[in-house]
Amino acid sequence: MSPATSSKDTPTHGLEQLSLGEQWWASRWSWLKERGYTLRSRYHPDWKPSWKVGRVDARKYEDGQFPNFNSNIMDATFRDGTFVTLKRIDRTRHSREVEISVMLSSPELSKDPRNHSVRVIEVLEDVPDAPDVSILVIPLLSDIDEPVVETVGEFVAFYTQILEGLQFLHEHRIAHCDFFGTNILMDAGPLYPKPFHPSEPTRRRDWKGKARHYTRTERPVKYYIIDFGLSHKFEPDNTAPRIVPIIPGDKSVPEHQGMQEFEPSDPFATDIYTAGNLVNEWFIERADGYDFVKPLIADMTQEDPSKRPKIDEVVERFAEIRASLSEKKLRSRVKDRLTQYPAFFGLRFRLRRLRLSLGGISPIPDPYT
């Protein structure tokens, strides 16, 4: 799936002015700088557009790039040159997010390789003129389809990591409650010889041309679960928790339809549904080649929450599916229907597949090996 907005959707007029969301960040430019975080030049107090307003397309310029569609998110550069993401959290609305995020980033829990919860680098408090706001500093991550998955093996690597990440959460009695596609991101850094621009990943960060990238098979990546704003942590002895949900990003959850929205439901079963429906919406509906996983996804997305498998069963079944796939199947191409491919892409793919196979590169890219 694509973000809610992209550079193609952004109007070319008006970019000479900051949006309200941008203004919030820009007004704290100096404070963030003191804390070690520098925003892009667009948000500098003395910024003026580098283009001729009204005469050229602002999107062609680095400082004309509209930020993330979520105004609570902003990219920045730490004083050591590390690219990071800043997330504004209103503690009056999401009282548990900071606590759960920091807990999942603790040294003890970080030792478990199944922990795919995004790492919290720092929590900024005492934000000027925002007493109820905390800012989470996390690594700069990318959407899971930027660039797109190209092979069955790349999908298998993705879903293996995500399922073990959800299993880790459930083992620690944490229900994510918003396991939506936009809340699963990847560290795309290994794919790019030159850093990509956070607002326009097809361009280099320095705006000196296109951002060339490897495939995930060539440069394996790690996937992360973000956004614990709706999450709940339950006591170990609460074996059958029920909560009245706050409707998540996935609006199709059966137990959230109609008047059921106001009735307590099992958040762990909801996580199973959304983890399955994620595959429907982001992969099965967008490309052929996923028949092997459809029976599992159908079970995960059953209308009756009580009939859905628990996460341990899901992980076990997917491991069996993974083991049953031949190398030919794993290296087979997945053609995303929403992506425009160059005419020569098919030939280039076949040549690369042959090279990787002869080179002994695993068809399931594992970043831990």
For 301-333, the DSSP string reads T-SSGGGSPPHHHHHHHHHHHHHH--HHHHTSB
What are the φ/ψ torsions at residue 221 (nearest 5 degrees)?
-125, 160
Measured distance CA(47)–CA(41) in Å, rounded: 7
Contact present, 83 and 198 (Cβ < 8 Å): yes
What pLDDT is attached to residue 344? 77
- Sequence-distant (6+) residues with CB within 8 A of 23 are none
Q: Which residue has the tokens 């074996």?
A: 239
* Chunked mean pLDDT (size 10), the chain, 369 residues: 41 78 97 98 96 89 86 96 98 96 98 98 98 98 93 98 99 97 96 96 96 97 98 93 91 93 95 98 94 98 98 99 98 84 82 95 92
What pLDDT is attached to residue 66? 84
What pLDDT is attached to residue 111? 96
Helix extents (H) in the chain: 20-26, 29-34, 97-104, 107-110, 152-171, 267-279, 294-300, 311-324, 327-330, 345-358
Q: Which residue has the tokens 């109820």?
A: 132
Can you list the domains of the chain with their CATH numbers?
A: 19-140 (3.30.200.20), 141-369 (1.10.510.10)
- Sequence-distant (6+) residues with CB within 8 A of 367 are 190, 220, 221, 222
Helix extents (H) in 78-209: 97-104, 107-110, 152-171
> String of b and e for 291-320 (b: at least 16 CB within 10 Å)?
eebeebbebbbbeebeebbebeebbebbee
Contact present, 88 and 135 (Cβ < 8 Å): yes
What pLDDT is attached to residue 1? 41
The helix/strand/coil state of 196 is strand
What pLDDT is attached to residue 345? 81
Measured distance CA(341)–CA(50) in Å, rounded: 32
- The token pair at 58 is 């602002």
Quote the pTM value. 0.92
- pLDDT per residue as tens digits for the range 92-134: 999 999 999 999 999 999 999 999 999 999 999 999 999 999 9
